[in-house]
């Protein structure tokens, strides 16, 4: 079994995707960004740290892990991304009523006891809130940076701000803010601001961190996630896929700048305007 330090060294960069509030599309962003990085030719893993509400495997269309090798967990793989999720280890309807120490142990195992191989990126999908899982991930991994996902509405921004400040307390560099479900595009070309307007950009400005972009509200994003074919795979010409492509490119640029070296660099993703 690998030690924690040895496992962490397998990841050239590790990026946590957080929200502070549930239901804002954090997992959708994590899954699609991971796929886009893999599409660029990088080796990418996705660690679903939302132990109590895992769903990254559903979005990737995966329902089981390969057989283990002794005590070593072998990650599943879909769309070029290696993935480990508690949802692949317990029954679909089985709740986990775990206290902090058990949660911490599970997250450590997802790092140390999984044969990730050498990865350019490990994307970590954090659960909502600012609790044990966030602390465990920060203690287990030397995170390259964190991304905050929010809706434009004030209630979402309030919780996103707490998530952002937790990154600061944990001394995790903040790569930027993503605003999801920013608007609904109508057939006549107009836009409806279902959840308000500009909240994510204001949060980034107030916190003096980069604003990585807006993602429109798109029913096809939900359909793709439910069917295991994320929007960047099944709807590559859509506005939401283009927005996610731009965000993935921005994340890679921020990671390269944070690393201060060219070993990862920016990924060659064409931005479709």
Q: Which residues 6+ apart lie within 8 Å of 256 measured at CB?
A: 262, 264, 265, 266
- Residue-level length of the chain: 273
Handedness of CA 74, 9, 137, 178 (dihedral sign): negative
Query: Are 147 and 178 within 8 A, CB to CB?
Result: yes
259 pLDDT exceeds 80? no
- Centre a 10 Å sphere on the Cβ of residue 5 and count the other Cβ atoms it contains: 9
19 pLDDT exceeds 70? yes
Tens digits of residue pLDDT in 179-191: 999 999 888 888 8
Residue 273: the pLDDT is 39
Place 206 in a pLDDT band, splitting at 50, 70 and 90: very high
Q: Of 32, 264, 12, 258, nearest to 145 (Cα)?
A: 258
Tens digits of residue pLDDT in 100-159: 688 788 888 899 999 999 999 999 999 887 778 888 898 889 899 999 999 999 999 999
**Residue 212, Cβ density class (10 Å: 0-12 exposed, 13-18 middle, ≥19 buried):** buried
Q: Which residues 6+ apart lie within 8 Å of 263 measured at CB?
A: 12
- Alpha helices (H) along 113-238: 132-140, 154-169, 199-207, 219-227, 231-234
CA-only gyration radius of the chain, Å: 17
Tens digits of residue pLDDT in 54-108: 899 999 999 999 999 999 999 999 999 999 998 898 767 667 666 768 878 888 8
Mean pLDDT of 200-228: 95
CA distance 163 to 207: 12
Per residue in 141-168, is it b (16+ CB within 10 Å) or e — as a string? Answer: bebbbbbbbbbbbeebbebbbebbebbe
| Domain range 4-259, CATH architecture | 3-Layer(aba) Sandwich (3.40)
Q: Which residues 6+ apart lie within 8 Å of 26 measured at CB?
A: 17, 18, 19, 125, 126, 128, 149
251 pLDDT exceeds 60? yes
Q: Output DSSP code: residue 172.
A: -
């Amino acid at each position: 079994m690998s030690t924690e330090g040895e496992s962490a060294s397998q990841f050239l960069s590790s990026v946590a995707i957080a929200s502070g509030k549930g239901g804002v599309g954090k997992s959708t962003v994590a899954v699609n960004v991971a796929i886009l990085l893999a599409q660029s030719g990088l080796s990418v893993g996705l660690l679903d740290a939302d132990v109590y509400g895992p769903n990254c495997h559903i979005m990737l269309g995966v329902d089981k892990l390969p057989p283990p090798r002794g005590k070593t967990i072998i990650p599943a793989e879909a769309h070029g991304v290696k993935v480990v999720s508690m949802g692949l280890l317990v029954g679909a309807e089985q709740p986990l009523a775990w206290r902090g120490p058990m949660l911490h142990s599970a997250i450590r195992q997802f790092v140390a006891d999984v044969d990730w191989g050498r990865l350019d990126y490990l994307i970590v999908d954090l659960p909502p809130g600012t609790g044990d899982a966030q602390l465990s991930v920060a203690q287990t991994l030397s995170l390259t940076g964190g991304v905050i996902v929010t809706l434009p509405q004030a209630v979402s921004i309030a919780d996103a701000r707490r998530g952002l400040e937790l990154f600061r307390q944990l001394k995790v560099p903040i790569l930027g803010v993503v605003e999801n479900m920013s608007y609904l595009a109508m057939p006549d070309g107009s836009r409806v601001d279902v959840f308000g307007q500009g909240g994510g950009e204001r949060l980034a400005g107030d916190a003096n961190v980069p604003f990585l972009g807006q993602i429109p509200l798109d029913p096809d994003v939900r359909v793709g996630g439910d069917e295991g074919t994320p929007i960047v795979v099944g709807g590559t010409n859509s506005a939401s896929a283009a927005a996610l492509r731009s965000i993935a490119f921005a994340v890679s640029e921020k990671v390269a700048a944070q690393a201060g070296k060219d070993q990862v660099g920016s990924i060659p993703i064409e931005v479709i305007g």
